Amino acid sequence: MSVEMEHISVSFAGVTVLKDVSLSVEDGIICGVLGANGSGKSTLIKVLTGIYHPDKGSDSEITIAGQKCSDIPDSNEAYRMGVRAVHQESPLIDDFTVAECIAAFKGYPKKNGRIDWKGIKEYAERLLLTYEISLETEQLVRELSAMQRNMLAIAIAIGQEEEQKQTKLLILDESEASIPENEAEFFLKRVKMLAAKGIPIIMISHRLKAVLKYCDTVVILNDGEMVFHGNVGDITEEIIVSQMLRRDGGAQKETDAKREHTLTGLWDLLKCKTQYQMGAEVLRVENLKYGNLNGCSFELYAGDILGIVGVADSGISELPWLLSGRWSRKDGEIYVGGSPLPRHMSTRKAIKNGLVLLPSDRPKSGGVMECSARENLFMPNEKKYWSRKKLSRRTLQMMQEIFDIQPRDSFEKKFGTFSGGNQQKAIMAKWMSLKPKVFVLDDPTYGVDPNSRQRLFALLKEAAAQGMGIIVFSTEPEQLADLCTRIVVIREGKAAGQIQKKDGILERETIARWSYL
């Protein structure tokens, strides 16, 4: 075995998050690691990268390419042992060129006492050629697509042919989560090529179909315990989902049905003033111009869940930021509840007018990672909770139950320590607690496991049933088909048409065609 972990248990403040987990990955094998948010996936990876450590006194043993130890003391030792990791948010430097970014991580060669920029460029060109990445070395990193960023991160982590021998384990920690569905297959084929060179790979992913197609073995974690470890041919998508549930499927449904608290109850507790009128126009966009947008117009109605799709350069990526006031539009009008919003509008002004955004770049714009979860949840309306401990406690309890934020009673922990899916649920709780007229969500299930995804969808439908207007941008057509009441297609900077339900169903193939072609 190239990589083995035996009897790994990890606890924090008396709470066990990994319980006697053992797994093995042979050379050239891709092992998919699945589990609900908070199941222990990230903890497992952090043990292998030397960030977290098995409990003292346990029988833990880690073997990487014949190197045995009971604990990897730090990330430097993990790197020396040959562990390479590419995470969900690759730490690339946006303002650097591709060549400069490679040099920042691989080192700056010198010639005659000076940095050898020619040598850096030549190394970068060879590295890109090795991984068949079609990029210019002088291209800015901020201009790269999600797929290109992830391929560049892998190239930097592993290096050229002669350096690849030093890689004894490659970890992909949801690295494909931000890649649109139509590009993910290209990325995963490149990952398969790396495995064919004999590199063992551990891949954490929430894309079940991708795991079943590209992985050789599967590990499923549930509440810190390994509940399945076997060949991919021995399991189906349905079995995976049932194994990932915190409770069995029947218990999950029963718990949801008996959920004591509702969004309406939360809004009543917080005395939210917004009044919904089903079917009324809550948002109107007229002749919006900015970047690739060139006269975009559409409407949103109370109770509507509107999906918006379009190819990358259609102007669709600018829309969430313009609607929420993060960017100032060049021309056009935005009306919320019939009232025009100023062209140069702050986020605070947008929120005051009843329009909020759940952004796709969660670590940068979604929450403050160094603050506590409680501080993040109360941030938009913190004055309401000053010197009101009973209201604060009751609000947190209701948010915990309604949005299933895990682990329980951990609101004083740093927000950055929560799993991606629980961060997303908390961010959604923060904005939905305001009872906005319009809720804009940009790729809301990015990095979220299938079970949490269903919880989020159910809450959005519950909010729409009360009269909230909801706009969803997503790179996954299947999600839009399941969630939305209708779809607006953005083409060449304009709303070019709509996809309506046919016999009560939005056709996934039609959405995909307009999303990618």
Per-residue pLDDT tens for 42-54? 899 999 999 999 9
Q: What percentage of the chain reaches a pLDDT higher than 70?
A: 95
CB 298 within 8 A of CB 438: no
Q: How far apart are CA 374 and CA 304, in angstroms?
A: 30
Give the residue among 176, 178, 90, 173 at the shortest CA–CA distance from 446.
178
Q: How far apart are CA 506 and CA 482, in angstroms?
A: 8
Write the CB contacts of 497 (distance below 8 Å, at least 6 apart in sequence). Answer: 488, 489, 491
Q: Is the pLDDT of residue 254 over 50?
A: no
| DSSP at 312 | G
**In the block, residue with structure tokens 């062209």:** 343
Backbone phi and psi for residue 370, each to the nearest 5 degrees, phi listed first: -85, -10
Structure tokens at 196: 């064919």
Give the burial string for 1-14 (b: 16+ CB within 10 Å, else e).
ebbebbebbbeeee
The radius of gyration of the chain's CA atoms, rounded to the nearest angstrom, is: 24
Q: Residues 104-121: pLDDT tens digits?
A: 988 888 888 888 989 999
**In the block, residue with structure tokens 């649109």:** 180
Q: Which helix (H) or strand (E) is 481 found in, with range?
A: helix 477-483
Q: Is the pLDDT of residue 1 over 70?
A: no
Q: Residues 433-491: pLDDT tens digits?
A: 999 999 999 988 877 777 788 889 999 999 999 999 999 998 777 788 889 999 999 99
Strands 486-491, 494-499: pairing is antiparallel
Structure tokens at 92: 């690339």
Return the higher-pLDDT residue of 91 and 194.
Answer: 194
CB 123 within 8 A of CB 117: no
In angstroms, what CA-CA distances link 421 with 105, 132, 307, 442, 465?
A: 29, 32, 21, 15, 24
Give the residue among 498, 443, 434 at the shortest CA–CA distance from 304.
498
Q: Is the pLDDT of residue 253 over 60?
A: no
Q: How far apart are CA 45 and CA 249, in angstroms?
A: 28
**In the block, residue with structure tokens 């974690």:** 221
Average pLDDT over all residues of the chain: 88
Average pLDDT over residues 96-106: 92
CB 448 within 8 A of CB 456: yes
3-class secondary structure, 289:
strand
Return the higher-pLDDT residue of 23 and 132.
Answer: 23
Write the CB contacts of 240 (distance below 8 Å, at least 6 apart in sequence). Answer: 34, 208, 211, 218, 220, 228
Q: Identify the structural domains of the chain with CATH numbers, from first to last.
A: 3-245 (3.40.50.300), 279-354+437-516 (3.40.50.300)
**In the block, residue with structure tokens 């009101």:** 388
CB 190 within 8 A of CB 150: no
Average pLDDT over residues 336-363: 89
| DSSP at 230 | E
How many beta carbons lie within 10 A of that of residue 409, not counting itself? 10
3-class secondary structure, 232:
helix
Q: Residues 419-441: pLDDT tens digits?
A: 778 888 999 999 999 999 999 99
pLDDT band at 517 (very low <50, low <70, confident <90, very high): low
Q: Is the pLDDT of residue 220 over 90?
A: yes
Give the residue among 156, 125, 497 at the shortest CA–CA distance from 310.
497
